[in-house]
Chains A and B, each alone.
Chain A
Amino acid sequence: MRKAITGHKAVAEAMRQIEPDVVAVYPITPQSEIAEYYADYVHNGLVRTELIPVESEHSALSACIGAAAAGGRVMTATSSQGLALLVEVLYIAAGLRLPIVMALANRALSAPINIHCDHSDAYLARDSGAVQIFAESAQEAYDYTLMAQRIAEDMRVRLPVIVNLDGFTLTHTVQPVDLLEDEVAKKFVGEFKPFAPLLDVEHPVTWGAFAMSDYYFELKRAQEAGMEAVPAVFLEVQRAFAEVSGRRYEGFFEAYKLADAEYALVVLGSTAGTAKVAVDELRARGMKVGLLKPWLWRPFPGPAVAEALAHLKAVAVLDRAFSFGTMGALYEDVASALYPLEKRPILVNYIYGLGGRDITVPQLVQALEELPKIRRTEWALRYIGLRE
Chain B
Amino acid sequence: MPSIKVLAEREERGVRFTGGHTLCAGCAEPMVVRTVLNAIPDPVVVASPTGCLEVATSRFPGTAWNVPWIHVAFENAAAVISGVEAAYKVLRKKGLLDKRVRFVVFAGDGGTYDIGLQALSGALERGHDFLYVCLNNEAYMNTGVQRSSATPKCAAATTAPVGEAIPGKPQERKDLTEIVAAHGIPYVAQAAVSHLIDLANKVERAMNYEGPKFINVLTTCPLGWRTPRDSAIQQAKQAVETRYWPLYEVIEGRYKINYKPKEHVPVEEWLKTQGRFRHLFRDPQGKELIAQIQAEVDRRWELLLKKEQCFGVGG
Contact = CB atoms under 8 A, between A and B. Distances in A.
Interface of A: 21-22, 24, 48-50, 52-56, 58-60, 62-72, 74, 88-89, 92, 96, 198-201, 204-212, 215, 219
Interface of B: 43-45, 47, 54-55, 58-61, 63, 65-73, 75-76, 78-91, 93-94, 97, 99, 101, 118-119, 121-122, 125-126
A172 B291 CA distance: 63
Given A50-B86, A70-B87, A201 B68 contact: yes
- Give 8 nearest A-B pairs by CB, closest first: A66-B83, A55-B122, A72-B87, A63-B83, A59-B79, A67-B83, A208-B71, A62-B79
18 contacts: A22-B83, A24-B86, A52-B83, A54-B82, A59-B79, A59-B118, A62-B79, A66-B85, A67-B86, A68-B83, A69-B84, A72-B83, A88-B73, A96-B72, A201-B44, A206-B58, A209-B58, A211-B59
Contact of A204 (B68, B80, B85, B119): B68
Contact of B45 (A62, A74, A89, A199): A199
Contacts of B86: 21-22, 24, 50, 52, 63, 66-67, 72
Contact of A22 (B59, B61, B87): B87
A198 B73 CA distance: 17
B71 A89 contact: no
B83 A55 contact: no
Contacts of A211: 59-60
A207 B118 CA distance: 23
Nearest to A66: B83
A200 B69 CA distance: 11
Contacts of A59: 76, 78-79, 82, 118-119, 122
B33 to A, nearest CB: 14
Contacts of A210: 54-55, 58-60, 71
Tell me if A's interface is mostly helix, strand, loop or mixed.
Answer: mixed
A205 B62 CA distance: 11
B304 to A, nearest CB: 29
B82 A66 contact: yes
A66 B91 contact: no
Given A21-B90, A56-B122, A208-B58, A66 B84 contact: yes
Contact of B75 (A58, A64, A96, A219): A58
Nearest to B43: A201
Given A21-B91, A206-B63, A198 B97 contact: no
Nearest to A26: B122
Contacts of A65: 70, 72, 80, 83
B41 to A, nearest CB: 13
B59 A209 contact: yes
A156 B206 CA distance: 43
B91 A215 contact: no
Given A66-B81, A212-B59, 12 more contacts: A22-B83, A55-B119, A56-B118, A58-B76, A62-B83, A63-B86, A70-B88, A198-B68, A204-B66, A208-B58, A211-B59, A211-B60
B87 A50 contact: yes
Nearest to B93: A48
